[in-house]
Amino acid sequence: MQLNALLPTRDIGTDASKIRDWAQAAEDLGYAGIEVADHVFGAAARDGWTPLYSEKDPFHETFVMLGFLAAVTRKVQLSSGVLILPQRQTGVVAKQAAEVDILSGGRLRLGIGVGWNFVEYEALNADWKTRGAQQAEQVEVLRRLWTGELVTFKGKFHNLNAVNITPAPIQRPIPIWFGGSSDAVVKRAARIGDGWMPIMSPEEAAPKLAALRDHLKAFGRDPATFGIEGWLRMTEPDPARWRSAVEGWRKLGAGTVMLYPMYRMPKFDEQIETLRRFKEVAQG
């Protein structure tokens, strides 16, 4: 089972040399991929609503960071983890993703989600209520733009007439993995995704995985070729809990796991040590 590393965006700071050193440490330790979390805006609590991340949590811009990581690494896969796709113009995402894929030598995986933060949707003038339907259509448009010479498409959310993305990505198309765990997302991932990357415990994920594999078969797709990555959301640095979660996802057939710390790691040495300890626990 492979390991991915989540860029510690809230704690890494703004020193580019430290971001480079962290990424190269992850690659040198043998991590298969690096993932970059996504939020455009921080949002303050309001009207009884408390955000999971607030205006005090810094998030680096996803595609700019992926482009930087492409320049300072050699072989590790790069992924958005996850990009809130319906908040963005599809053509711009297609262009940005293609560019990262080119600059990385074909190492990009696009992880996408629909998000949980309606305040951020409002601030971006995006439609919260249609986000699921929009995401599904966006995936179709992205793949057409990455693989077609000239694309004409008319849907509910898009109207393209003989347009293209030039230069095209190396991967045609770039793999698209779905985050999220709602029944609708699981079914959508099975229908049009290349993989699924939820934040769930193995116990929570087991029935969802069973449903996912049933959907894959119903859509005429092979579950053996569909990617599964378990995100291990942890509120404290507890190697015993890490090990238990890794083993749980291994038994479920996941090909990849990633530690998703909710606790803060303000010191750079802690961030590097976490990479070392998680690898030791997961592969020991």
User: What are the pLDDT digits (tens) for 95-125?
Assistant: 999 999 999 999 999 999 999 999 999 999 9
pLDDT at 213: 98
- Measured CA to CA, the distance from residue 5 to residue 216 in angstroms comes to 28
Amino acid at 104: S
User: What are the pLDDT digits (tens) for 122-170?
Assistant: 999 999 999 999 999 999 999 999 999 999 999 999 999 999 999 999 9
Nearest residue to 199 (alpha-carbon basis) of 87, 113, 86, 93: 113
In the chain, the domains with their CATH numbers are 2-283 (3.20.20.30)
Contacts of 51 (CB under 8 A, 6+ apart): 43, 44, 45, 117, 119
pLDDT at 228: 98
Nearest residue to 257 (alpha-carbon basis) of 196, 193, 194, 203: 196
Report DSSP state, residue 252.
T
Would you say 173 and 98 are in contact if contact means Cβ atoms under 8 Å apart? no
pLDDT at 112: 98
H or E stretch covering 244: helix 239-251
Residue 59: half-sphere exposure toward Cβ, Cα within 13 Å: 21
pLDDT at 177: 98
Amino acid at 6: L
User: What are the pLDDT digits (tens) for 243-266?
Assistant: 999 999 999 999 999 999 999 999
- In the structure encoding, which two tokens stand for residue 74, read together? 């050699």
Nearest residue to 81 (alpha-carbon basis) of 7, 141, 154, 162: 7
User: What are the pLDDT digits (tens) for 25-79?
Assistant: 999 999 999 999 999 999 999 998 999 999 999 999 999 999 999 999 999 999 9
**Would the pLDDT of 284 be above 90?**
no
User: What are the pLDDT digits (tens) for 223-237?
Assistant: 999 999 999 999 999
Q: Is residue 72 packed enough to be buried (19+ CB in 10 Å), middle (13-18) or exposed (0-12)?
A: middle
Report DSSP state, residue 87.
G
Distance of CA 40 to the CA centre of its chain: 15
H or E stretch covering 17: helix 16-28
DSSP, collapsed to helix, strand or coil, labels residue 240 as helix
